Chains A and B, each alone.
Chain A
Amino acid sequence: MKPNFLLLAAALTFAVPVFAKPVIGQPAPDFSVTDAAGKTQSLSDYKGKVVVLEWNNPECPFVRKHYGAGNMQKQQSAAATEGVVWLTVNSGAKGKQGHLDAAAATAYIAEVDGKEAAYLIDTDGKAGHAYDAKTTPHMYVIDKNGTLRYMGGIDSIPSTEKADIEKATQYVSQALAELSAGKPVSVPTSEPYGCSVKYGS
């Protein structure tokens, strides 16, 4: 009986296009994206360094929660101090809410006093799709060997309210501290929360 169901399930599954998904403990997908300063940024440039990826849409209320309260900038600053490379990625397609060109991205970083190492403009969504980034924010932590160690939400309380930040567990900070101490990441995944990434159709 069972094998029949599985065969059917396998047949059904076959019809679905399969995208490689990022997997904890596996090599993180490489990418090549131009940043707001016009420089090409690739994950492979940062072998030997811990990298944080942050998906961003300046107009999303969940992003504004963390920037408005200074939580994101504080984590970016702390990461920089520790030699961690923080890359903010915007996968908003042209014409969609939150899409920025290089000049607008530079103005945005100045406005929010962003402390990221670079702001990547992924207009075609290639890097976003490679990481299966779904929400803004959506966070990833990659270790010195290029292995994915964390993916998910910025913290543990899905809301748009700034008051929740101090009550929440900050998963990215926690993962970075654990990696720095040579410990395993205690929470390697959490469900990301936020606005949907505004990919082009």
Chain B
Amino acid sequence: MTCSTNRSSRCRSRLQAVALASSAAVLAAPFAFAQAVQTDHVNAQLVGEHLALVPGQSMQVGLLLRHEPHWHTYWINPGDSGLPTTIEWNLPPGFKAQDIAWPVPKRFDVGGLYNFGYDDELLLPIAIDVPADAKPGTKAHLTATAKWLVCREECIPGKASLVLDLPIAAAPAKPDERWTTQFAKARLAQPQATAWKGDTQMTDDRIVITLRGVGLPPAEGLDVFAAQRKIFDNKPPQIGREGDALIVSAGKSEYFGTSPATLDLLMTAPSAAGVRGWRIRIPFADAAAPAP
């Protein structure tokens, strides 16, 4: 269940609780301090999963984007238009930020053109590698510039300079309860790695992918996205079963250039707990398929 599709009281109360918690935190700010920045149609904030950073560990932080209703920002492959959200870090010496661990995106139909991204409340998780020699008792001042394009039908570029101050602590860090729900949701929305095998065949205008392996889901309700741009034409692919194989037939992008060595796919399926996702990496064969 997501709050965008179900305006239940649970959704509302959760959002209110978060709003209360964050305003209280700004007042008190005993440990972790991070100011939310309100921009056009998006509220942006850096948050930490834990109340402190532990030397030598990889700690989760998040770029929390709260969209106004009907507005969305973009996945790493934005689709037919749009721009992916980016974050540029300025970290203390020895600290290292990993790439955004993109949650599964939604497909937006914009008058027959397709975009991939996020609406409602979104947490983009990022792992911060804390150096082993970080001194307990000191504070880490993490700053970043986040940039995005927020669109309803019209689009507005957005940007925020964000700060997250977190203490360094030797002991195992406690979770910051203000953001537990968001990190849990982001974790559920992470595509799972799979060992599914597949091959691709390309015709003039289609890319046909045959997937095999244990635990392939039924075809109903599935959607498939390419993480790389300029591969698919972004329209919903046709997905069917043939025996134990799953066949995905996607339109080929008219901007398809050279074939990548591997194809990075994301498959999604609706489930009771929200959208599930699987990460699939298969070799890309560029030999034209023989005429059937």
- Which A positions have Cβ atoms within 8 angstroms of B? 2-10, 12-13, 15-16, 21-23, 59-62, 96-98, 132, 134-135, 151-152, 158-161, 189-201
Contacts and interface: CB of A to CB of B under 8 A. Distances in A.
Contact of A16 (B240, B251, B254): B251
Interface stretch (B58-66, B87-95, B150-158): B150-158
Nearest to A12: B238
Given A4-B242, A59-B154, A97-B154, A9 B80 contact: no
B113 interface: yes
Nearest to A59: B154
Interface residues of B, number: 39
Interface string B234-247: 01001010100101
A7 to B, nearest CB: 6
Query: Helix, strand, loop or mixed for chain A's interface?
Result: loop
Interface string B219-251: 000000000011000010010101001010101
A196 B113 contact: yes
Given A9-B249, A13-B206, A196-B113, A152 B81 contact: no
B238 A15 contact: yes
22 contacts: A5-B201, A5-B208, A5-B242, A5-B247, A6-B290, A12-B247, A16-B251, A21-B205, A21-B254, A134-B81, A135-B81, A152-B255, A160-B149, A189-B254, A189-B257, A195-B151, A195-B155, A196-B81, A196-B113, A196-B151, A200-B111, A201-B111
Interface string B134-171: 00000000000000010101111100000000000000
B30 interface: no
Contact of A193 (B83, B156, B249, B290): B83
A146 to B, nearest CB: 19
Given A6-B201, A8-B240, A196 B208 contact: no
A9 B155 contact: no
A49 B259 CA distance: 34
B111 A198 contact: yes
Given A9-B206, A191-B253, A196-B153, 14 more contacts: A2-B201, A3-B292, A5-B242, A6-B292, A10-B292, A21-B205, A23-B254, A61-B149, A61-B157, A134-B81, A135-B81, A159-B83, A196-B110, A198-B153
B289 interface: yes
Given A8-B240, A97-B154, A160-B157, A196 B255 contact: no
| Chain A CB within 10 A, most for which of B155, B156, B201, B257 | B155
A13 B251 CA distance: 9
Contacts of B110: 196
Contact of A199 (B111, B154, B245, B289): B111
Nearest to B210: A5
A200 B112 CA distance: 10
Contacts of A12: 238, 240, 247, 249
B154 A195 contact: yes
B238 A158 contact: no
A197 B110 CA distance: 9
A55 to B, nearest CB: 11
A198 B110 CA distance: 8
B254 to A, nearest CB: 6
A89 to B, nearest CB: 16
B115 interface: yes
Given A6-B292, A135-B80, A196 B115 contact: yes
